[in-house]
Amino acid sequence: MSERLPARLRALATELTKLREAAGLTTRQAAAKLGMSIATLNRLENAKRTATVADVSALLAIYGVIGAERKRIMAMVEEVNPIGWHGVQLTRGWPALANFEAEATGIVNFAPSIIPGLLQTPDYARAVIGLGGIAEADLPGRVAERMNRQQVLTKLVGPTYLAVLDEAALRRAYGGSAAMVEQIHWLIDMAKQPNLTIQVIPFRHGGYRNPGGHFSLLDFAKAPSIVYVEHEAASGFLDHPEDTSLFRQVATTLTRVALGSADSVNFMARMAADFERS
């Protein structure tokens, strides 16, 4: 069994690795500049050693990371907790989420009210992101980031992906009727991909076990699973086995309540037709 590593430590390790590679340095070169052993730097990048503020501050100086990006990474260092993120205030972690999605071998999304980011069309994403108080000038960049995240689903060796959508996520017209027609047709097209499954829970199926909001369950080839939970006030990762086990049970229950994949596609086609008539 692989060693359980706290999600925050794994997220920071991935960020440090990407920054070194962006600076065009090998681990040997970076370690030499820092006066650190190659083994120590490797342990930092593999989340086998907790990075100190001094370690990361020196690495960022070598990698030429300044300004807001440096502030973000240093905040991650301060939040690293060697026993995980259980029982602490969760914080937003979009860069970390994108990194974890890129490494995952399996992803389960539950969406009670909004289409998951990995399945959103640009117009739909723009409408959703715009409601978050984002400046108009920043919207194109944020939408582009979301579209870039979606590449994990279509890469040569992509993860298995399951999205369980409540009917409410399909009925709420973010961006208007035309945007929803495009969005739902996109979902239908994506459902044809061999590694993707989309299931819908229609209103007529009644209530079900609801964890309280959107979540993503991510599985990895050589690391323990993690759960990303998303709420308005606080979002973040849970990595304790009892947490991931609970959400896996919830995901199994949701798939049993939902329509099968073929019936879900037919259901979405009827919804698209409804929006076309509106």
Model confidence over 267-277: pLDDT tens digits?
999 999 999 98
Among 107-116, 186-195, 218-227, the minimum mean pLDDT is found in: 218-227
User: What are the Cα distances from residue 264, in Å, to 65, 165, 199, 215, 255?
Assistant: 46, 10, 5, 20, 11
CATH topology of domain 94-277: Endonuclease; Chain A (3.30.870)
Residue range(s) occupied by CATH 1.10.260.40 in the chain: 7-79
Per-residue model confidence as pLDDT tens digits over 115-154: 999 999 999 999 999 887 788 888 999 899 999 999 999 9
Percentage of the chain modeled with pLDDT above 70: 90
pLDDT at residue 108 in the model = 97
- 33 compared with 150, residue with greater pLDDT: 150
Q: What is the mean pLDDT of residues 43-70?
A: 82
| pTM across the whole model | 0.71
CATH superfamily of 7-79: lambda repressor-like DNA-binding domains (1.10.260.40)
Among 34-48, 154-168, 264-278, the minimum mean pLDDT is found in: 34-48
Residue range(s) occupied by CATH 3.30.870 in the chain: 94-277
- 232 compared with 133, residue with greater pLDDT: 133
The bridge status of strand 160-166 relative to strand 106-111 is parallel
Which residues have C-beta within 8 Å of that of residue 261, sequence separation ≥ 6? Answer: 191, 197, 198, 199
